[in-house]
């Protein structure tokens, strides 16, 4: 089995430094270009993974979880995933960002009204999937409970994943020992 790490928006594989230090296994880091469209990034990711011969298990943060939804649908040897604070229903902050920078592909792709987000919600997740819901943060200009970046409603809108709450904000979650323990438990179960 190989672990496929996909980072969140404006981040890089370095955001997984703590997790990958404590989770052993062969790793693939899928970085994407924030200036390219989601379709272009997804095509590159799919091409990168189609030559793999081992089962793939996704460990993702935020937008990386949306890419993993598409990948697990396209790649038959995907066996599971843990997503951290993934905005399955998009990000309202991206909608606001589009007002300030309408040509920025990242904001266009992750806004709740984007085709990329809408199509991802139509894809059935067919592998065991756990979404870690971050419960600390709460900026007042986002409607409802949020982790400082993503609303709880967006993180919990799917009915084909399991949910686990962790008391961290959107960025702290990649530094959580509880997340490491959760990943290690799921990986061990996936190897059986």
Side-chain half-sphere exposure of 119, counting CA atoms within 13 A: 13
Both structure tokens of 130: 């756990």
Distance CA 87, CA 21 (A): 25
* DSSP for 56-108, written as a single string: EEEEEETHHHHHHHHHHHH-TTEEEEEEES--TT--HHHHHHHHH-TT-HHHH
Both structure tokens of 76: 């038959």
pLDDT of residue 191: 54
**Dihedrals phi, psi of 55, to nearest 5 degrees:** -60, 150
Below-70 pLDDT ranges, the chain: 190-192
To the question of pTM greater than 0.85 for the whole model, the response is yes
Distance CA 43, CA 189 (A): 30
Whether the CB-CB separation of 131 and 156 falls below 8 Å is answered with yes
CA angle in degrees (0–180, nearest 5) for 130-132-136: 170
* All domains of the chain in start order, with CATH: 2-191 (3.40.50.1820)
């Amino acid at each position: 089995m190989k672990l496929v790490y996909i980072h969140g928006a404006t981040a890089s594989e370095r955001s997984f430094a703590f997790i990958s230090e404590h989770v052993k296994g062969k790793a693939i880091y899928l970085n994407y270009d924030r200036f390219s469209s989601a379709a272009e990034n997804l095509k590159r990711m799919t091409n990168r993974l189609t030559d793999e011969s081992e089962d793939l298990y996704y460990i993702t943060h935020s937008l990386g979880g949306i890419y993993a939804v598409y990948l697990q649908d396209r790649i038959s040897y995907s066996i599971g995933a843990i997503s951290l604070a993934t905005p399955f229903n998009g990000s309202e902050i991206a909608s606001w960002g589009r007002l300030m920078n309408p040509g920025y592909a990242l904001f266009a792709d992750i806004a709740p009204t984007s085709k990329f987000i809408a199509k991802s919600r139509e894809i059935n997740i067919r592998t065991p999937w756990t979404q870690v819901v971050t419960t600390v943060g709460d900026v007042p200009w986002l409607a409802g409970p949020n982790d400082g970046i993503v609303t709880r409603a967006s993180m919990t809108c799917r009915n084909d994943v399991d949910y686990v709450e962790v008391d961290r904000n959107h960025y702290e979650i990649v530094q959580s020992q509880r997340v490491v323990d959760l990943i290690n438990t799921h990986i061990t179960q996936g190897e059986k």
